[in-house]
Chains A and B, each alone.
Chain A
Amino acid sequence: MTDQLTGSAPPRSPRGGAAAPDGREARPTRVRTRRFQPAWLFMAPSLLILGAFVVFPILRSLYYSFFDWTVGAATQPFVGFGNYVTLFHDGQFWNALRITLEFTVVSVVLLVVFGFIAALLLQRDTLANRIVRSVFFFPTIVSLVTIGLVWKFLLDPDIGLVGGITAALGLPSVAWLQSTALALPTIVFVSVWKSIGFAMILFVAGLKGVPAERYEAARLDGANTWQTIWGITLPSIRPTMLFTSMILTIQSFQVFDLVYVMTGGGPVFHTDTLVNLLYRDGFVNYQTGYASAISWVLFVIIMLISLLQLRLFRYDDVD
């Protein structure tokens, strides 16, 4: 067993020879294939579960997307790319795509900018900073549904806390979630509020990885704070930037819980994101095929944008 796990493969393993009764030499490729077997063995349970509950449903949804699929119906008519064509002409889809893009761009930019600023200000490990960082991080560990419900209540123009405070100050109450103009910005705000701690923690980790000598060298060369950030910090944390913005982009594209709880996609579709539309078509109207098509379009969009980000942050570049 051990010989098979050591680094360099012997030219002809004794067991390989023994396994070939006809006297022919076992080919090296065969030896190599067998060397991986124990690993597969250990991975088998996870792979099986992943396969059954992740990979299979993903592929199945691709299959569904080519049918006018209704769960359990007597016939499932094949429509080829019909769902995708319908999608292309569906005003609700374009509206949802636009809203999802707006949500993603604004919230990712805000999160990266403010997450980075917060990390810069709080990166030193003092007691006060640790406390403030924890406070910032709290919302991240709370479920989105809980956050959505709490904010929805806080923002209620007539019986909410925010409305109460503005009324006490003599200001008019604002229908944050009922106004077509304010609903999406309000959801962006809550989403940023929730995730800013997450972005901050990632940036703090990134900042800690920047060697102190670089700052020292920069200071010796007479660089001011701004020049240090621009010339040393930002280039050094490029991988963190990439990771953070990519994770946040993917998360934002999939925004659902907050919308579902706070506005249900309303008022008049002004917060109807792609996943909310997908949910409505799939689980309220039971158009499984159509909803699957939406999910695959969303997948392709996320993949393209992630590739774009990889290019943008010059992932392959060697410094």
Chain B
Amino acid sequence: MKHARTTLVVVSGAAALALVLTGCSASGSAAQDGPATLKVWTGFTGGDRPGYATIVKDFEKSHPDIKVDMTVQPWDTIQQKLPSAWLTGQGPDVAAVSSDPNAVAQYVKTRSVLPITDTGDGSGKINTASFAPGTVEEFTYDGKLYGVPANFATLSLYYNKKLFADAGITDPPKTVQEMAADAKNLTTGGKYGIALADNQTIQMWPVLQWLEGGDIVSGKGCSVVQTSAGQKSLSTWADLVAKDKVSPVGLTGAEADSLFSAGKAAMEINGPWAASGYKDAGIDLGLVKVPVGVDGKSSTLGSIAPLSISAKTKYPKQAQEFLAYWTSKTAQQKFSLQTGFPPLRTDLSDDAKLTADPTVSVFASQVPDARLYLPHVTNATKVDSDAYVPLIGEITRGKSVAEATKSAGQAIDGLTGCSK
């Protein structure tokens, strides 16, 4: 009897354990027969979403032996789920790991991503030589390539034609000084000259800094915000926001977009994903290149979402084939026309169809001037969250630029391990 009861305990315990374990590993063994199914995660929930769906659909059509199961979820969900999903072998085969290209570093560190080797200019190869400038370097660690761009967006200047006309301004600004003057003139009657977001957003302030002749981090990974050029580049627009109230303080990206969509802000620096939303909101929309900087040169932000392959994928060959197709000339041309994004390949820059498209051409024309935000800077995500975002927050709330940049500079140097 005692024996029987012990057995019962063991059996029920084992049953419960089995229950728990099967719960964990239900998706563990994928079928090896039949077509390979690539699980893909992306965070493209915006207006560009259908463009990626087209890429997948066309890929499946031309590759009948490979199925693609793409899941779209918000970026912060991916950020929470992907690291552990990949480590436990449960994650997708391919993922756009973040909207922030620097995030690849983390996955390289945890050995979660596969080095991409199937490169070259043959058909079915990933043609890295054709990628927009800076992209290959951005995803290369220790000489190995760990990602390809899922897209390459540049930022342009959106403006509200009606508000410009109401203020008696005929042309959109061509220089950063004109943009500042316009922002002041357009700030009237409860309307703002510009919607400048400084947190949870695509980076707008670095663009202003570049136009005003400043930067955030030097090539050696040392802060330059506290230098005289750095301070000067920040103070113009900090004053415009803090004193002239050309933009509300502390906007998130979504808030800035809402403000512009509501016709309450006359300008916004933003990427191609925003165009459809603004048009749907009924804005009399103008779109031009970001005005040239104080030195007469153009600068804008280039934004890349990295597309990487899981180190644990069962289909490394098929996954690379998929990336090769995603970044191919045909797929990119179609994608650009559908979404307004510039092509991520330089060999499409003078493509007749793309240059004829009024939206694509504006974004594409700025690809050569595009710069990345904190490229290859150590602890880039922390530099952003702990130093740069608070810095902008402080100076737009009236703190002295000299003081704020001094402490931000120290924080940045501490994070990057700057060696002067």
Contact = CB atoms under 8 A, between A and B. Distances in A.
B111 A266 contact: no
Interface string A151-179: 00000111100000001000000010111
A74 interface: yes
Contact of B16 (A45, A156, A179, A284): A45
A269 B386 CA distance: 9
Give the size category of B's interface with A: 35 or more
Contact of B393 (A15, A41, A74, A268): A268
A3 to B, nearest CB: 12
Interface string B238-267: 000000000011111001001100101000
Nearest to A178: B250
A45 B5 CA distance: 16
A267 B392 CA distance: 10
A59 to B, nearest CB: 17
A19 interface: yes
Interface in B183-238: 190, 192, 199-200
What are the 10 closest A-B residue pairs judged by CB atoms, nearest first? A72-B110, A178-B250, A268-B393, A45-B16, A48-B16, A72-B87, A267-B250, A159-B262, A268-B390, A267-B393
Interface of A: 15, 19, 34, 37, 40-41, 44-45, 48-49, 52, 70-74, 92, 156-159, 167, 175, 177-180, 264, 266-269, 280, 283-286
B217 to A, nearest CB: 17
B20 A48 contact: yes
B109 interface: yes
Given A92-B386, A269-B390, A280-B385, A286 B259 contact: no
B79 A284 contact: yes
Chain B interface helix/strand/loop/mixed: helix
B20 A267 contact: no
A267 B9 CA distance: 56
A48 B17 contact: yes
B57 interface: no
Given A72-B109, A167-B190, A285-B379, 11 more contacts: A19-B1, A34-B2, A44-B16, A72-B112, A73-B109, A178-B251, A180-B397, A266-B199, A266-B250, A267-B249, A284-B385
A267 B16 contact: no
A157 B264 CA distance: 11
B8 A41 contact: yes
Interface string B375-394: 00001011001100110011
B264 A286 contact: no
Contacts of B79: 283-284
8 contacts: A71-B83, A71-B84, A158-B259, A159-B262, A178-B248, A267-B393, A267-B397, A286-B83
B248 A158 contact: yes
Given A52-B20, A280-B385, A156 B255 contact: yes
Interface string B5-28: 100110011011101100000000
Chain A interface helix/strand/loop/mixed: loop
B32 interface: no
Contacts of A158: 192, 248, 259, 262, 264
Q: Which of A73, A92, A177, A266: most chain B CB closer than 10 A?
A: A266
A34 B9 CA distance: 12
A151 B8 CA distance: 54
B248 A44 contact: no
Interface in B307-343: none
A123 B16 CA distance: 45
B112 A264 contact: no
Contacts of B106: 286
A34 B3 CA distance: 12
Given A71-B110, A178-B249, A264-B200, A285 B397 contact: no
A268 B397 contact: yes
Contacts of A74: 111
A285 B1 contact: no
A175 B249 contact: yes
Given A72-B111, A269-B390, A159 B12 contact: no
